[in-house]
A and B are shown apart, each in its own frame.
Chain A
């Protein structure tokens, strides 16, 4: 079976325990305002253009079948509306254009993942599915996880938790650790920030827990959006009743994704958010810890 991914990254050390290979799935049902991987939102391959690396050689203009590239006032302009991400515009030695996303079979992904088996075994690492939303390509994710388990590889899935509960329950035995997002306690705000309400997500977190799945709760904290006492207490409250939670991980806002939006000709509504200070981060940790005994890690 084939799926669409945009990257396989070896030697990941923040996506679960030990040394891991992370497979980034393309496509996500949510549209989080702060998303730092905008190339992961669409299910289709996309052309990315980095103007800072462009040397204005003009070779892409000649090669593009859809007329997406042009010179405007002596510098390169890329308009994505008609782009089919065929990649024909990318000339040898061009560093400014790249296609994000490609189709690949589960076997090919597994072959790549198996290359680092020796490092997983010595570090208690393994495979992590990330994205995008891995469960948005459910069958592909399912087959990949099955193959990993057949090869005794530890599995993690980074998920937004937004999927049908019967599908989730079926896949729990294949996942050694869920890195599941919890983004906002107030459901209406959740919808405002991500495009969907949070009831399904909260239900699924509890379902994973009830069915023995191990959980790390990952909480992006965005100043001005969800760094409220109400939500921080909500995180603590949710976790206090979970039996299989290992820890809470706070992921404070960072601005690494700003350039990617530009490269994809997309608008980024969080580009003016201030990166939180260490003191702010510590105040969040302190507040959560005052309501729960679950360990809290802040990146």
Chain B
């Protein structure tokens, strides 16, 4: 068994109830000291004390060093100590970090602080030094430890990058891992992402090849880097069995592709296939014609790793951004971090709002009586607009000074314009405020409008009020009508009934386009539910599509469960008719009942993107295997399925979610 296999096995031997115990113990002891939290450098000193006191464990099989001691939390402790806290959900500017190193970042900050000359900037620079020095000391401690294990290459790399930028492929990966691990495991939040990994790593890869390394060697090293993302995540799920403290249920996102895929983009895919674990999640920003060999490799890889690789339509999103006024160079450089969450790479942090699109529809339908679908949509659009405006305005103006200072501890040094402005991420350092505005339940919304149009406006079988009274009574005494509505053709069958979801989507996106905010604010809309279709369903009354009160509504961009009956090509055609060209986020999961040939996969996705499709993630389900896994979980430790915007270990899911996976339409 080689080193990678041993590291992979260790993932499944790890205790999922264990967590990064040292962080919490150290923070708890600092809390007891009763120091002045208002001191301008308080949180930076806290951070430094954490890093100075945590252990520096190493596994003999490690390709790169950087691990965290795990242990069972004290009784009753189920959430991370918040003395250090961050927003998480961001991508560091690794291109810059690799080039100029920690010393370079400090110099840059000092120059800017001197130029700006104000007290706040001076404080920023002083605090930056505390943080950088702590990171450097930590890396040097790790270098000494690596030496003891005979890992001289790691030691040399760490001694270099403890101050300077990376000088080769190996030191680049070692530096990225150290910063990523520190952020993910000690800062107090999750979902730090790797940005456009293939772009900023390519020069180091190329140089390594030029110096005689083979592609296979570099691929294995990269797999050895990737396995570390699984080490810090364990097998926890994000909403059910998260690790009890950090990193809870972090997902690890690597973005590749875009305008210019390169040879290293393919190496990323090879390494993901070689490792074949749930992390990292490979996000492919696909422009099919940019590099045909890369495109082919994407589908070859997807056929193997299946649910931990997903694909976005790169050009469609880029054009939507340009239409929203984002300059082309920035629009070309977007990323996805977290689950289907859109970012302008390192220029912003993740901010998001799940709009109550389904409850707002119910509210609209009961506001008054209507005589046409357009009438309904006009009122619905206005209501939606007001809701979004208020929510985003609140988020923009929400200010928490203590949190802002806390969140500065590390993150600000590595993202956006913070260092140029000498202001932290929550104090004006961000170039953009990007608000992901999700619209859950688009199929349920469309199907509800279709039902009203058919039964009330066209067939005139009930007056509007009579029909809504029946719906609001939860179809009490009208089961036959409810069954008729449930059996009506739904969104997702490539029929004329798709037009209702399309119309609703357009009205809702029109409402968003009418909103006016400062020019650095980007509203990033998308059809996406995460798990709102289940978790918020209990509060939502019956809908006109035959759905009873409390039942789940449609997931992400998908039709209602069991609603698509004409096969996957029909489904993709229906979906492609949604106004995706005006959205920049969202996700679609397709479920196959057996392994799909890569050429078929490629044809499906490329045709879908040609028609205007947005995103595809897939799961291959063996229904019998999943049922058995529910009864005999110990036999299926490594079985993963795709959920929302990421893959999860099936046996770690709650029963309702396992059943939801089994309920999906298979192709």
Contacts and interface: CB of A to CB of B under 8 A. Distances in A.
Interface in B147-206: none
Given A122-B603, A123-B603, A92 B484 contact: yes
Contacts of B667: 11
B112 interface: no
A57 B540 CA distance: 30
Contacts of B480: 92-93
A92 B481 CA distance: 8
A282 interface: no
Contact of B487 (A9, A19, A92): A92
Interface in B434-492: 479-480, 483-484, 486-487
B41 interface: no
B533 interface: no
B567 A9 contact: yes
Contacts of B130: none
B596 to A, nearest CB: 8
A113 to B, nearest CB: 11
A115 interface: yes
Interface in A113-137: 115-116, 118-119, 121-123, 125
A172 to B, nearest CB: 27
Contacts of B597: 13
B581 to A, nearest CB: 17
A119 B606 CA distance: 9
Interface stretch (B50-58, B99-107, B568-576): B568-576
Contacts of A92: 480, 483-484, 487
A18 B600 CA distance: 7
A11 B569 contact: yes
A44 interface: no
A10 B566 contact: yes
Interface string A36-68: 000000000000000000000000000000000
Given A11-B568, A93-B486, A118 B604 contact: no
Contacts of B569: 10-11, 19, 115-116, 119
Contacts of A125: 603
Contacts of A116: 569-570, 573
B6 interface: no
B610 interface: yes
A98 B484 CA distance: 16
B30 interface: no
A13 B604 CA distance: 12
A115 B603 contact: no
B487 A93 contact: yes
A43 to B, nearest CB: 26
Nearest to B546: A93
A119 B603 contact: yes
**Most A Cβ at <10 Å: residue of B487, B494, B570, B607:** B607
B119 to A, nearest CB: 62
Given A92-B487, A93-B483, A93-B486, A10 B603 contact: no
A121 B567 CA distance: 18
Contacts of B293: none
Contacts of A10: 566-570
Nearest to A121: B607
A18 B566 CA distance: 18
B366 interface: no
A18 B597 CA distance: 10
Interface string A89-126: 00011000000000000000000000110110111010
Contacts of A118: 607, 610-611
Nearest to B484: A92
A11 B600 CA distance: 10
A9 to B, nearest CB: 7
B599 interface: yes
Contacts of A19: 569, 600, 603-604
B570 A123 contact: no
Nearest to B480: A92
Nearest to B603: A123
A125 B600 CA distance: 10
Contacts of B603: 18-19, 119, 122-123, 125
Contacts of A13: 596-597, 600
Nearest to A13: B600
Contact of A115 (B494, B568, B604): B494
B567 A11 contact: yes
Interface string B546-568: 00000000000000000000111
Nearest to A92: B484
Interface in A1-22: 9-11, 13, 18-19
A217 B567 CA distance: 27
Contacts of A121: 607
A221 to B, nearest CB: 21
A19 B572 CA distance: 13
Contacts of A123: 599-600, 602-603
Contacts of A119: 569, 603-604, 607
Contacts of A122: 602-603, 606-607, 610
B424 to A, nearest CB: 49
A122 B599 CA distance: 9
A58 to B, nearest CB: 14
A219 to B, nearest CB: 22
A139 B602 CA distance: 36
Contacts of B607: 118-119, 121-122
Interface string B211-252: 000000000000000000000000000000000000000000
Contacts of A115: 494, 569-570, 573
A115 B602 CA distance: 18
A115 to B, nearest CB: 6
A10 B667 CA distance: 10
Contacts of A18: 599-600, 603
Interface string B575-610: 000000000000000000000110110111011001
B202 to A, nearest CB: 29
Contacts of B599: 18, 123
Nearest to A95: B487
A6 to B, nearest CB: 15
Nearest to A11: B567
A151 B480 CA distance: 43
A203 to B, nearest CB: 35
A122 B288 CA distance: 13
A95 to B, nearest CB: 9
A121 B611 CA distance: 13
Contacts of B568: 10-11
Interface string B513-538: 00000000000000000000000000
B129 to A, nearest CB: 56
Nearest to B481: A92
A67 B480 CA distance: 23
A45 to B, nearest CB: 20
B23 to A, nearest CB: 50
A278 to B, nearest CB: 16
12 contacts: A11-B570, A13-B597, A18-B599, A92-B484, A92-B487, A93-B479, A116-B570, A118-B611, A122-B606, A122-B607, A123-B600, A125-B603
Interface of A: 9-11, 13, 18-19, 92-93, 115-116, 118-119, 121-123, 125
Given A18-B600, A19-B604, 9 more contacts: A10-B570, A11-B667, A13-B596, A19-B603, A92-B480, A115-B494, A115-B569, A119-B569, A123-B599
Interface of B: 479-480, 483-484, 486-487, 494, 566-570, 573, 596-597, 599-600, 602-604, 606-607, 610-611, 667
Q: Which 8 A-B pairs have the closest CB atoms?
A: A93-B483, A123-B603, A10-B567, A11-B567, A122-B603, A116-B569, A92-B484, A118-B607
